[in-house]
Amino acid sequence: MSTDDTVLQKVKIPTHIAFIMDGNGRWAKNKGLDRSEGHAAGADVAEKMVRACNDIGIQYCTLFAFSTENWKRPGEEVEFLFQTLIYYLEKKSPEMIEKGVRIRFTGHIESLPRDAYECARKIEINSKQCDYFQMIIALNYGGRQEIWDSVLRMFNAFEKGELKAEDLKNDQPEMFRNFLNLPDVPDPDLLVRTGGEMRLSNFLLWQMAYSELIFTQTMWPDLDREALINLLKEYSKRERRYGGL
Ligand code: IPE
Ligand code: IPE
Ligand code: MG
């Protein structure tokens, strides 16, 4: 048994891990490289981390790839981010789908450049039946946008008569889950943000009510399997009380 296996036997494995993949630009700058090279390195690492998560026994991995606020960046950088994403998805998704990985998206992908949208939709459809592991890519995603969209879906159900005012009065906040982008996906047990910033930047606001949060100084392109295992060790020490004793 490898040291890695022995360590893994002792750590708690989250069902769902979410990553805010931050620090690509600073990683590149520190090396005297262009920001785009940071994003290219970051995409490589994203693929490796998804593989490691799957291998370790995690069932859902959500990656924050592009926020509703990231449109504020220079057009060139935005374009490069989508082109990198398409390149990786085209190259890697057939093998992932073969292995049973379901690839899903959360966020307004219909507003992406046409080629990126079509690529995402195609992969989502092709991997729909896969149930071994789920990789969720948050793309043109904002937590407030998702809450707003959920309210609109709820209102729609109300207008269609599928939901009654009485139901709303009697139901618990938990029923709101049914209107989220991906109602069947469990809340993240663990959120990891790389790059040293201690904020959520509008990620999964509703879903993270009770997630364990880890902020690490490591820049995203420097994350590796060993670092992930160390993060899981840290997670294993957390006592999740959910308000109880
Ligand atoms: C995260 O890295 C990638 C995206 C937001 C798409 P950044 O590009 O934010 O890198 P820093 O934070 O500038 O270092
Ligand atoms: C968060 O990183 C979004 C993604 C990783 C996609 P940002 O770099 O956009 O976040 P801020 O601007 O530091 O809050
Ligand atoms: Mg950043």
With contact defined as beta carbons under 8 Å apart, do 220 and 45 qualify?
yes
Whether 240 maps to a domain, the answer reads no
The answer to whether 22 is a known catalytic residue is: yes
The domain of 137 spans 3-234
Name which residue sits closest to atom 2 of ligand 2, judged by CA.
Answer: 22
- pTM of whole model > 0.85? yes
Q: Looking at the domain assignment, is residue 242 inside a domain?
A: no
* In the predicted structure, residue 137 carries a pLDDT above the cut 70: yes
Return the structure tokens found at 138: 């948050």
Q: Is residue 143 part of a domain?
A: yes
Please report whether residue 130 resides in a domain: yes
How does pLDDT run across 145-193, given as a tens digit for each residue? 999 999 999 999 999 999 998 888 887 889 999 999 999 999 999 999 9
Phi-psi region of 186 (alpha: psi -120 to 50; beta: other; left: phi over 0): beta
Is 34 within a domain?
yes
Out of 34, 54, 70, 171, the active site residue is: 70
CATH number at residue 146: 3.40.1180.10
Collapsed DSSP state (helix, strand, coil) of residue 134: strand
Confidence check: pLDDT of 2 > 80:
no
Per-residue pLDDT band for 53 (boundaries 50, 70, 90) equals very high
Is 81 a pocket residue for ligand 1 (Cβ < 6 Å)? yes
Residue 241 domain-assigned (yes or no) = no
Overall number of domains in the chain: 1
- Segment 203-234, tens digit of pLDDT: 999 999 999 999 999 999 999 999 999 999 99
Q: For all residues of the chain together, what is the average pLDDT?
A: 96
174 alpha carbon – ligand 1 mean position (Å): 33
Q: Is the CB of 201 under 6 A from ligand 2?
A: yes
- DSSP line for 19-61: EE---HHHHHHHTT--HHHHHHHHHHHHHHHHHHHHHHT--EE
Question: What pLDDT does 168 receive?
Answer: 84
For residue 245, is it within any domain? no
Give CA separation, 148 vs 63, 107, 158, 163, in Å.
21, 12, 15, 18
For residue 4, pLDDT beyond 90: no
Binding site membership of 19 for ligand 2 (Cβ less than 6 Å): no
Dist CA 18 CA 230 (whole Å): 16
The answer to the question of residue 111 being in a domain is yes
Residue 5: predicted pLDDT: 78
Is residue 65 lining ligand 2, measured as CB closer than 6 Å? yes
Does 1 score more than 70 pLDDT? no
Verify whether residue 230 is a known catalytic residue: no
State pLDDT tens for residues 7-31: 888 999 999 999 999 999 999 999 9
Axis-axis angle for helices 3-10, 225-237 (nearest 10)? 30
**Tell me: the pLDDT tens digits for 29-51?**
999 999 999 999 999 999 999 99
Structure tokens at 82: 């989508």
Q: pLDDT per residue over 79-130, tens digit each?
A: 999 999 999 999 999 999 999 999 999 999 999 999 999 999 999 999 999 9
User: Can you give the pLDDT at residue 7?
Assistant: 85
